[in-house]
Amino acid sequence: MGVPAAGHRATIHRLQRAQAGFVASVLRGQLHAADPLQTSDRDHCQLDRPPAGPPFVEKNFSAESKRAVEDMVGRVHAEFRARLGKNTWLTKATRQQALNKLDKVKITVGYPEKWIDYSAVDIRAGDYFGNLARISEFLARRNLARWGGPVTEDEFANPAETLPTVINAAYDPLRNAIEIPAAFLQPPTYDPKADPATNFCTIGAVIGHEITHGFDSGGRHYDEIGRARNWWVKTDEVKFNKETQKLVRQSSAFKVLPDLHANGELTVTENLADVGGIAFAYGALNKYLKTHPEENKVIDGLTQSQRCFIAWGQMWSDKMREGFLRQITATNPHAVGQYRAFAAAQHEPGFFTAFRIRQGDPMWLSPKDRAKIW
């Protein structure tokens, strides 16, 4: 017995609203659920159906912005490499392996080198679920046809996380690759009109964060071509784990709520990536200003160093209901924004210099408690 189309659509809409209500109220602590139709739009964009990808880039991400961000990628990468080359706690063997991996990381800015051609897919107006099914089938058949062929690196690897229309950036340890979509490279994360400090310590720090993921507690177990392989000398592993425990202790001491502490073990990889991200961004900023002294300006009474750390803190500003705070503290490997805003900066000596923070001040972190990793 068939189900009338109108009744079928009504049932689907009720299910969508029920799901959205559960996610909003139970998982996120929101008072109102998102419109399911907005979710449909997001799903379309995440599949990169025509015309989401190329037209979005053409309208919202200029060639000048792409070149500027790629230049920043090079500067942040060079800062990491310079620090790694001077690293004193790694043995020569491990340091050389780390340098080799760093040199081979592939970073794609904005959009893939090659767009997927969807012209063969039958896209029909008003047929949302049919479109999803046909696009999914097209992608599945396309991937199967490529099985056993040469590895290609000219497309974004993970459509769920890093399409040009997705606001995210991600490191893939299996490919030793980073993808930074065009949708993420919009104000306030990246603003072509902003001063150097703001851009270096927002998008530049995110770039550094993603690069650091290749050398964090999880990423360090993969080599330069994405093989799961232990390339660390044992004594270096011991030293690494000792330093990361400083991040665990720092995070675990932070009170998210009066009766709730952060989970330092759960968030250690992301916290480590934050420490690397802001450190490399700050170092790259200082080198940039030395060669561009005309841009080393005091703005609104704040130096470029001060604006760097303020921009970093503002990037993590958010406001969450108590229920959602408890939920993400228990399950999310990312620390809450109120912690990320300052915690990583406390491991960078320049932070204390910029604001003249001394022992006894609220933001002070003793040198013995600062992680010295990358």
CB atoms within 10 A of CB 258: 5
What CATH code is assigned to 64-114+162-369? 3.40.390.10
Please check whether residue 341 is in contact with residue 316, taking contact to mean a CB–CB distance below 8 angstroms.
yes
Alpha helices by DSSP H, 152-204 = 196-199
Q: Which residue has the tokens 């912005």?
A: 65
Pick from 121-130, 161-170, 249-258 the range whose average pLDDT is largest: 249-258
Find the mean pLDDT for residues 159-179.
Answer: 86
Say which range, 94-108, 134-148, 258-272, has the weakest mean pLDDT: 134-148
127's tokens: 């047929």
Asked whether residue 106 carries a pLDDT value surpassing 70, the answer given is yes
The pLDDT value given to residue 125: 86
- Rounded alpha-carbon distances, angstroms, from residue 45 to 50, 137, 138, 162, 166: 9, 17, 16, 11, 8
- Beta strand 170-172 with 260-261 is unpaired
Asked whether residue 34 carries a pLDDT value surpassing 90, the answer given is no
User: Is residue 274 flagged as an active site residue?
Assistant: yes
Residue type at 312 in one-letter notation = W
The pLDDT value given to residue 42: 52
As to burial, measured by CB atoms within 10 angstroms (0-12 exposed, 13-18 middle, 19+ buried), residue 128 is: middle
Please check whether residue 369 is in contact with residue 345, taking contact to mean a CB–CB distance below 8 angstroms.
no
Find the mean pLDDT for residues 114-143.
Answer: 86
Asked whether residue 100 carries a pLDDT value surpassing 50, the answer given is yes
Domain boundaries, the chain: 64-114+162-369, 117-151
Polymer length in residues for the chain: 374
Smallest CA-to-CA distance from 102 within 158, 177, 168, 170 is with 177
Please check whether residue 169 is in contact with residue 162, taking contact to mean a CB–CB distance below 8 angstroms.
yes
Find the mean pLDDT for residues 237-259.
Answer: 98
Instruction: Please tell me which residue in 48, 79, 179, 210 is annotated as part of the active site.
Output: 210
Instruction: Please tell me which residue in 172, 216, 274, 348 is annotated as part of the active site.
Output: 274
Q: Any residues with CB less than 8 A from the CB of 272 and at least 6 apart, and which?
A: 212, 216, 217, 244, 247, 371, 373
Asked whether residue 162 carries a pLDDT value surpassing 90, the answer given is no
Find the mean pLDDT for residues 174-193.
Answer: 95
Q: Which helix (DSSP H) or strand (DSSP E) does residue 177 occupy?
A: strand 177-181
Judged by DSSP in three states, 256 sits in strand
- Separation of alpha carbons 361 and 353, rounded Å: 13
**Percent of the chain with pLDDT strictly greater than 70:** 84
> For the stretch 156-187, what's the b/e string if a residue is b when 16 or more beta carbons lie within 10 angstroms of its beta carbon?
bbeeeebbbbbeebbbbbebbbbbbbbbbbee
Q: Which residue has the tokens 């792409």?
A: 66
